[in-house]
């Protein structure tokens, strides 16, 4: 409940205001002198102050109220203050309103007007305070990210900002983190950030893609092997846990680890102990384990493919990385990064933002490499990214449908039995010469031209603009634009 401070030397005024406020859902406290009011404000939080302008008998100058107002403003700059006096002086009112007074009312006051003013001012004060807290929080977040090592990660979306902020926060602890998300979304880059911002950043950072290893070699890679432990093991080798001792081990595609390996991984996570393959000597290590997967490990647990106890050891905190399709604000900044800052035309921006990127950042990076290699112009187009063909096909299919519908409405079209064979639209991408020939053949009747080329009229206009073909037929005004 909002608490309001009343400051007036008249007890009757204080009691009347206090009763009115409490009947309307507010708490109230009243003080009879400026000194007592300032002490109360210093000790407590108030939502608003209602103060008189004169506190000494036979004084009407308002100077005492002005001094109290300025003292409150110095103590609580954002606190709303309503000035109340029986001696309303316009000049003093204007001066204090300019200095930040919220309202200035004369005695006797109008209850309805005063309550309306109180409600509005408290609401505005709360909103300003919330906005201030939000701005402070955003500034703190930005400061954290600005001071963090982001390992070259490029992003602009709010979803990715939250994910990176959480990664930086988790980096300070030594808990195991499970990074989840689709293939190609950048899980390994989040692992880099977790290590680079941790107290272990100067210690070893070892990565192992579990999914890229044959099953028979996984345990040897994780825990090492003695000479002769398996065919081809001519000398002893240390495993990734030994190599990462004192630092961080990142296990990518952890869902591919077989159950036998899961048992040994669980043991080393619990005790720090393991044996090399072909050895009975127990070794110890201290390693922070980060892991990643694109699989649904909870479903794998239900299906008996993944141990539940291991899951909870690895997943002290889950860091969920969204797919690129869920953070489209990252697409163009990533393109700028991958293309070295090359300019994009409108078709490229539209195609890049409308594509779903099922392969995520990896697919986008490959498309950008293609564009850099194959582009003939300095400004990149949708075709340079390998995306134009899909749009051309969509336009062509749309054009066929439009052409079919247009046959009913187009009174100039050939009628059945008139001896004119219908043209079959082509799905091949029409070039400038094809368009110019079709325009001449159909006397610039755009509906027929588009139909013959297998395009919608909008698609035809876009291609005419691309090839610099005049939109107006030669010496015929606008007759063909239907």
Tens of pLDDT, residues 86-135? 765 667 777 787 778 888 887 888 889 899 999 999 998 888 888 877 77
Kindly give the confidence (pLDDT) of every residue in the chain, 482 residues in length, as a single tens digit, with 9 standing for 90 and above.
889 999 998 899 999 999 999 999 999 999 999 999 999 999 999 999 999 888 876 666 778 888 999 999 899 988 999 988 776 566 777 778 777 888 888 788 888 989 999 999 999 888 888 887 777 777 767 777 788 899 999 999 989 999 999 999 999 999 999 999 999 999 999 999 999 999 999 999 999 998 888 877 888 888 888 887 676 666 888 889 999 999 999 999 999 888 888 998 999 999 999 888 888 889 999 999 999 999 999 999 999 999 999 999 999 999 999 999 999 999 999 999 999 999 999 999 999 999 999 999 999 999 999 999 999 899 999 999 998 644 444 444 344 444 443 433 343 333 333 333 344 344 457 788 888 888 888 888 887 888 788 777 777 877 887 888 887 777 644 444 44
Q: What is the pLDDT, as a whole number, of residue 457? A: 75
Q: What is the pLDDT, as a whole number, of residue 221? A: 87
Residue among 360, 356, 362, 351 nearest 386 (CA):
351
Looking at the DSSP assignment, which residues form a beta bridge with residue 51?
Answer: 7, 83
Q: Do 299 and 255 contact (CB within 8 A), yes or no?
A: no
Q: Do 174 and 288 contact (CB within 8 A), yes or no?
A: yes
CA distances from 189 to 193, 250, 358, 446 (A): 6, 11, 19, 52
Q: Do 10 and 35 contact (CB within 8 A), yes or no?
A: no
Tell me the DSSP string of 368-406.
HHHHHHH-SSSSB-GGGGT-HHHHHHHHHHHHHHHHHHH
Question: Cα(65)–Cα(33) distance, rounded to whole angstroms?
Answer: 10
Question: Cα(206)–Cα(231) distance, rounded to whole angstroms?
Answer: 25
Q: What is the pLDDT, as a whole number, of residue 216? A: 74
Q: What is the pLDDT, as a whole number, of residue 232? A: 67
Global pTM exceeds 0.75: no
Q: What is the pLDDT, as a whole number, of residue 89? A: 60
- In degrees and rounded to multiples of 5, residue 358 shows phi and psi of -60, -25
Q: Do 315 and 176 contact (CB within 8 A), yes or no?
A: yes
Distance between start and end Cα atoms, the chain: 68
Looking at the DSSP assignment, which residues form a beta bridge with residue 179?
Answer: 292, 319
Q: What is the pLDDT, as a whole number, of residue 44? A: 92
Mean pLDDT of the chain: 83
Neighbours of 238 (CB within 10 A): 13
- In degrees and rounded to multiples of 5, residue 27 shows phi and psi of -85, 155
CA distances from 120 to 49, 102, 154, 274, 308 (A): 14, 10, 43, 68, 55
Question: Cα(326)–Cα(342) distance, rounded to whole angstroms?
Answer: 24
Cis upstream peptide for 371 (omega within 30°): no
The residue count of the chain comes to 482
Q: What is the pLDDT, as a whole number, of residue 46? A: 94
Q: Which residues contact 287 (CB under 8 A, 6 or more apart)?
A: 241, 244, 245, 246, 247, 248, 249, 268, 272
pLDDT digits (tens, 9 = 90+) for 158-175: 899 999 999 999 999 999
Set out the domains of the chain in order of their start, with CATH numbers. Answer: 3-126 (3.40.50.2300), 158-320 (3.40.50.300), 326-386 (1.10.8.60), 393-467 (no CATH)
Q: Do 384 and 374 contact (CB within 8 A), yes or no?
A: yes
């Amino acid at each position: 409940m909002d608490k309001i401070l009343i400051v007036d030397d008249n007890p009757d005024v204080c009691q009347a205001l206090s009763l009115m406020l409490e009947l309307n859902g507010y708490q109230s406290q009243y003080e009879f002198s400026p000194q007592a009011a300032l002490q109360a404000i210093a000790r407590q939080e108030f939502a608003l102050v209602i103060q008189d302008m004169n506190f000494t008998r036979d004084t009407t100058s308002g100077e005492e109220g002005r001094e109290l107002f300025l003292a409150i403003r110095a103590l609580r700059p954002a606190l709303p203050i309503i000035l109340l006096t029986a001696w309303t002086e316009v000049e003093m009112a204007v001066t204090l309103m300019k200095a930040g007074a919220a309202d200035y009312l004369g005695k006797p006051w109008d209850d309805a007007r005063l309550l309306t003013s109180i409600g509005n001012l408290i609401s505005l004060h709360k909103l300003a305070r919330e906005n201030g807290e939000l701005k402070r929080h955003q500034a703190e977040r930005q400061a954290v990210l600005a001071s963090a090592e982001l390992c070259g990660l490029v992003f602009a979306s709010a979803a990715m900002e939250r994910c990176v902020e959480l990664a930086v926060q988790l980096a300070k602890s030594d808990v195991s983190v499970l990074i989840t998300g689709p293939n190609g979304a950048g899980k390994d880059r989040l692992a880099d950030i977790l290590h680079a911002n941790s107290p272990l950043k100067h210690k070893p950072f070892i990565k192992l893609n579990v999914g890229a290893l044959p099953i028979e070699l996984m345990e040897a890679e994780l825990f090492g092997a003695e000479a002769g432990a398996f065919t081809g093991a001519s000398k002893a080798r240390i495993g990734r846990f030994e190599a990462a001792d004192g630092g961080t081990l990142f296990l990518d595609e952890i869902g591919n680890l077989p159950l036998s390996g899961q048992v040994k991984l669980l043991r080393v996570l619990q005790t720090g102990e393991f044996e090399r393959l072909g050895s009975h000597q127990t070794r110890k290590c201290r390693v922070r384990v980060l892991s990643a997967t694109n699989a649904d490990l909870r479903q794998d647990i239900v299906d008996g493919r993944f141990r539940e106890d291991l899951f909870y050891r690895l997943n002290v905190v889950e860091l969920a990385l969204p797919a690129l399709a869920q953070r489209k604000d990252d697409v163009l900044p990533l393109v700028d990064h991958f293309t070295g800052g090359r300019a994009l035309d409108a078709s490229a921006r539209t195609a890049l933002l409308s594509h779903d990127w099922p392969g995520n950042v990896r697919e986008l990076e490959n498309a950008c490499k293609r564009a850099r290699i194959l582009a003939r112009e300095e400004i990149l187009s949708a075709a340079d990214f390998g995306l134009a063909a899909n749009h051309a096909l969509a336009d062509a299919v749309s054009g066929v449908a439009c052409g079919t519908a247009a046959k009913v409405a187009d009174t100039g079209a050939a009628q059945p039995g008139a001896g004119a064979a219908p043209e079959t639209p082509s799905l091949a991408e029409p070039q400038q010469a094809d368009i110019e020939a079709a325009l001449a053949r159909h006397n610039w009747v755009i509906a027929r031209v588009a139909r013959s080329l297998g395009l919608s009229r909008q698609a035809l206009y876009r291609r005419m603009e691309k090839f610099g073909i005049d939109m107006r037929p030669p010496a015929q005004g606008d007759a063909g634009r239907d």
